């Protein structure tokens, strides 16, 4: 297990940390509705699950009641809402207030890992992917939905334009990561990715991918 003390400090700004938690609580109904079909396609049907950057818990409703979920969520301002959502959906929740770069779970200890809109935000996506690979059992699946850099065109222009304020407001979120390439490079036995458009007023996150990587 990597040593978390060697990583950059992950103490969220108290104002932005709270604002982000409240913002996602307000917008999740809308965004989750738009992503529901993709979530149903890729998410696991149970077992022991780890979720990276679980936020307020919008993904828990897609798992069967009784599922054990290890939520890797370094921002403490999400924890209370996350616990409430887990209770509402009968999820057996354990919160780990550690970054995805240094997960405090044993090797090959989970059946599946879930992550939505998180590899955009983590400090070191390649290290988080190494950790996901490490904690998955052989044959275990990493299910992900991520907004990614548009290859070109107007959306790419908007992503470039808002990059800095967006990163500041959403605590490190990058509008321009090539996450598909990062997952392909992470040593999984197989990777399946579907590209899709997230049609909403949130133009910087219009270009998305959903996929499954099998260890």
Ligand X SMILES: C[S@@+](CC[C@H](N)C(=O)[O-])C[C@H]1O[C@@H](n2cnc3c(N)ncnc32)[C@H](O)[C@@H]1O
Judged by the rule CB under 6 A, the positions of this chain that interact with ligand X are 10, 24, 28, 52-55, 58, 72-75, 78, 99-101, 116-118, 121-123, 173
Instruction: Provide, rounded to whole angstroms, the least separation between the CB of residue 74 and ligand X.
Output: 5
3 state DSSP class of 121: coil
Smallest gap from residue 75 Cβ to ligand X (A): 3
Q: Which DSSP letter does residue 205 get?
A: G
β-strands 136-147, 110-116: how paired?
Answer: parallel
138 or 172: whose CB is closer to ligand X?
172
| Shorter beta-carbon distance to ligand X: residue 48 or 54 | 54
**Residue placing its CB nearer to ligand X in the complex, 118 or 186:** 118
Tokens, residue 111: 């059946």
Residue placing its CB nearer to ligand X in the complex, 75 or 159: 75
Q: What minimum distance in Å lies between the beta carbon of 83 and ligand X? A: 14
For ligand X, give the closer residue by CB, 26 or 87: 26
Q: Which is nearer to ligand X, 83 or 190 (CB)?
A: 83
Give the whole-angstrom CA distance, residue 150 versus residue 172.
18
Angle at 28 between CA 27 and CA 30, to 5 degrees: 75
Contacts of 163 (CB under 8 A, 6+ apart): 174, 175, 176
Q: CA-CA distance, 98 to 140, in Å (whole number)?
A: 22
CB of 19 to ligand X, least distance (A): 12
| Rounded least distance, CB 178 to ligand X, Å | 18
Smallest gap from Cβ 189 to ligand X, in A, equals 24
Residues 151-184, buried b or exposed e (16+ Cβ, 10 A)?
Answer: eeeebbebbeeeeeebbeebeebbbbbebbebbe
If one counts every other C-beta atom within 10 angstroms of the C-beta of residue 98, the result is 18
Asked if 67 and 91 count as a contact pair (C-beta separation under 8 A), the reply is: yes
């Amino acid at each position: 297990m990597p040593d978390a003390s060697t990583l950059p400090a992950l103490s969220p700004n108290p104002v932005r940390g709270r604002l982000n938690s409240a913002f996602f609580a307000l917008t999740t109904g809308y965004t989750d509705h738009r992503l529901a079909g993709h979530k149903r396609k890729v998410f696991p049907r149970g077992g022991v699950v780890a979720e990276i950057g679980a936020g307020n818990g919008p993904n828990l409703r897609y798992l069967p009641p009784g599922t054990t979920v290890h939520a890797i969520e370094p921002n403490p301002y999400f924890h209370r809402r996350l616990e409430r959502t887990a209770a509402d959906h009968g999820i057996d929740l354990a919160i780990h207030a550690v970054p995805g770069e240094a997960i405090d779970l044993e090797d090959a200890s989970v059946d599946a890992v879930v992550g939505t809109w998180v590899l955009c935000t983590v400090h070191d996506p390649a290290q988080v992917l190494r950790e996901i690979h490490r904690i998955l059992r052989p044959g275990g699946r990493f299910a992900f939905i991520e907004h990614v850099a548009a290859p070109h065109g107007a959306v790419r222009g908007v992503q470039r334009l808002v990059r800095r304020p967006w990163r500041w407001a959403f605590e490190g979120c990058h509008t321009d990561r090539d996450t598909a390439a990062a997952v392909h490079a992470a040593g999984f036995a197989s990777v399946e990715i579907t590209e899709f458009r997230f049609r909403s007023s949130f133009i910087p996150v219009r270009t998305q991918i959903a996929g499954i990587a099998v260890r």
